[in-house]
Chain A
């Protein structure tokens, strides 16, 4: 039993890390209805910038602030140069634009900071803790706590403020949003900045786990099943989806892996996502499309 718990808890904690990446997608999807493929590149860009600054003996807090400023500037540039000219285009056009954006961001990161792998030490011991007979990684616990705080703050922000209402309004009909006095450029800049902040945090935690390297931008692929399961437009859904993916992939690996020769962990979340697509295409918490015909 305690082994089961250990696997479960380890899976849930890993899941929180997936949620963290998924939330970046949800923020932008809520505000502009676009699946931002460049989210992974932002994660990479953030982590790489931070690491490179620290390696150049910049104090960590200063490096964090500088990276955040860079990400906010990038966010504003994206709003000006990419989103604004594409207002009212179809989602696929916007998706393609973000696909292109991801190449530009990765290229820029490589241009500035080079392509080698960097180690990132956040100064947290990765010694396992003994909690009620279950071994838990201290780093995982820290990551989960960070993600938890971030998630609570973001969901309060989007559910209780006029910003949240404006976000949904803008996603629904930009023209109508203008007519009620919502300042579109400001909303987009805020949302992309928030997404930049989330991706910086995700980049640091993932970077500390995997090392800061170009494959870091591939964490978006793990966010995909999380989003499909949780729903693209719900921050709460991203959390639940992440936890589900994390727990189920670890449990599947341990209990079913031996039946098919192991390696389940890598593809199990996608199987789960396909099942969700068949049974509940809008995800657990997504808003199903309502159409009056």
Chain B
């Protein structure tokens, strides 16, 4: 877990560009006029007080919400009516603030659902185990095992997810997301409710995902210490507006950020 403040992220190409996004629910303005770029290969943290619009912004990126204004550009193409499953097919994976796993299925099966996108054989072939089915099955299993090993889940491979502890479930969710071979990984509070050790381990897994699997990461996290260590790039939101955007060293001393977090002197 090294801070990479010395590499200027702006030298790299943007994988995700948000341009003047505004989103409201009825009369409530959740996000107003937010623009920023996430560069290929970076870990970008969204921080801000509760209700700042962080989760809404993730939901805009993977198509759960459609913003009233602004555009989302992913990998050079702008999408108009992207739905969440389209986002998955285009290489955007995510985890949820309240774990959304298939609780009655085993860890392995959960991870394998992430491989469905990459199946190279048809149902007919799979049903009768002919043609490409067997090699395809073996390939998906192999990839699933790679992900399981990367997240240190070998021992619980066959356990039913609903019986596992909270911290492990968070890891399974990350494993399932990685199994889709995403280019962009959206993590909504991956360390919420964890103790310091668990947070450190999770941060390690996120860095591994970023380096080993080459995934660009956008994450929401409240623990400022973890965020400063982990991320290359921090975007700070407050009341649905962007108040700061830069490398950790800049954001840490930004007066607007300090004001939002610590309050201003009147």
Asked if B25 is at the interface of the complex by the 8 Å CB criterion, the answer is: no
The reply to whether B162 and A290 form a contact with Cβ atoms under 8 Å apart is yes
In the complex, what residue of chain B is closest to A185 when comparing beta carbons?
B85
* Measured CA separation A179–B123 after assembly (Å): 22
Q: Which of A162-194 contact B (CB under 8 A)?
A: 162-163, 165-166, 168-169, 172-173, 175-184
The reply to whether B100 and A176 form a contact with Cβ atoms under 8 Å apart is yes
The reply to whether A180 and B180 form a contact with Cβ atoms under 8 Å apart is yes
Known contacts A178-B84, A179-B62; is-contact A165 B113 (Cβ 8 Å): yes
* Measured CA separation A179–B103 after assembly (Å): 15
| In the complex, per-residue mask of B109-135: 1 if CB is within 8 Å of any chain A CB, else 0 | 100111011010001001111000100
Of A182, A183, A292, the contact of B113 (CB 8 Å cutoff): A182
* Measured CA separation A153–B123 after assembly (Å): 12
- Of residues B93, B123, B163, which shows the largest number of chain A Cβ atoms within 10 Å of its Cβ? B123
* Measured CA separation A181–B163 after assembly (Å): 25
* B contact residues around A183 at 8 Å (CB): 85
* Measured CA separation A184–B89 after assembly (Å): 14
Shortest distance from the beta carbon of B154 to any chain A beta carbon, whole Å? 21
Shortest distance from the beta carbon of B68 to any chain A beta carbon, whole Å? 22
* A contact residues around B176 at 8 Å (CB): 180
Shortest distance from the beta carbon of A232 to any chain B beta carbon, whole Å? 12
| In the complex, per-residue mask of A126-170: 1 if CB is within 8 Å of any chain B CB, else 0 | 000000000000000000000000000100110011110110110
A-B contact count (CB 8 A): 89
* A contact residues around B102 at 8 Å (CB): 168-169, 172-173, 176-177
* Measured CA separation A183–B126 after assembly (Å): 19
Chain A interface: which size bin?
Answer: 20 to 34
* B contact residues around A166 at 8 Å (CB): 113, 116
The reply to whether A290 and B163 form a contact with Cβ atoms under 8 Å apart is yes
In the complex, what residue of chain A is closest to B111 when comparing beta carbons?
A180
Asked if A121 is at the interface of the complex by the 8 Å CB criterion, the answer is: no
In the complex, what residue of chain A is closest to B102 when comparing beta carbons?
A172
- Of residues A160, A178, A180, A289, which shows the largest number of chain B Cβ atoms within 10 Å of its Cβ? A180
Asked if A55 is at the interface of the complex by the 8 Å CB criterion, the answer is: no
In the complex, what residue of chain B is closest to A160 when comparing beta carbons?
B126
In the complex, what residue of chain A is closest to B116 when comparing beta carbons?
A162
Asked if B88 is at the interface of the complex by the 8 Å CB criterion, the answer is: yes
The reply to whether B162 and A169 form a contact with Cβ atoms under 8 Å apart is no
The reply to whether B100 and A182 form a contact with Cβ atoms under 8 Å apart is no
Asked if B226 is at the interface of the complex by the 8 Å CB criterion, the answer is: no
Asked if A125 is at the interface of the complex by the 8 Å CB criterion, the answer is: no
Chain B interface: which size bin?
Answer: 35 or more
Shortest distance from the beta carbon of B96 to any chain A beta carbon, whole Å? 7
* A contact residues around B164 at 8 Å (CB): 292
Known contacts A165-B113, A182-B116; is-contact A173 B127 (Cβ 8 Å): no
The reply to whether B104 and A172 form a contact with Cβ atoms under 8 Å apart is yes
* Measured CA separation A175–B93 after assembly (Å): 13
* A contact residues around B224 at 8 Å (CB): none
* Measured CA separation A138–B158 after assembly (Å): 45
In the complex, what residue of chain A is closest to B125 when comparing beta carbons?
A161
* Measured CA separation A65–B180 after assembly (Å): 38
Known contacts A160-B127, A176-B96, A290-B163; is-contact A181 B101 (Cβ 8 Å): no
* A contact residues around B117 at 8 Å (CB): 180-181
Asked if B39 is at the interface of the complex by the 8 Å CB criterion, the answer is: no
In the complex, what residue of chain A is closest to B90 when comparing beta carbons?
A181
* A contact residues around B160 at 8 Å (CB): 290
* Measured CA separation A240–B187 after assembly (Å): 44
In the complex, what residue of chain B is closest to A174 when comparing beta carbons?
B100
Of A180, A287, A289, the contact of B93 (CB 8 Å cutoff): A180
The reply to whether B84 and A163 form a contact with Cβ atoms under 8 Å apart is no
The reply to whether A177 and B113 form a contact with Cβ atoms under 8 Å apart is yes
- Of residues B83, B101, B102, which shows the largest number of chain A Cβ atoms within 10 Å of its Cβ? B102
The reply to whether A181 and B103 form a contact with Cβ atoms under 8 Å apart is no
The reply to whether A175 and B100 form a contact with Cβ atoms under 8 Å apart is yes
* B contact residues around A287 at 8 Å (CB): 104
Shortest distance from the beta carbon of A172 to any chain B beta carbon, whole Å? 4
The reply to whether A161 and B101 form a contact with Cβ atoms under 8 Å apart is no
* Measured CA separation A163–B116 after assembly (Å): 9
- 12 further A-B pairs in the complex, CB-CB below 8 A; given A179-B88, A292-B162: A156-B127, A157-B123, A161-B123, A162-B126, A166-B113, A172-B102, A172-B105, A179-B96, A180-B93, A180-B114, A181-B116, A182-B113
A-B contact pairs, 6 of them (CB 8 A): A160-B129, A169-B102, A169-B113, A181-B89, A182-B113, A290-B162
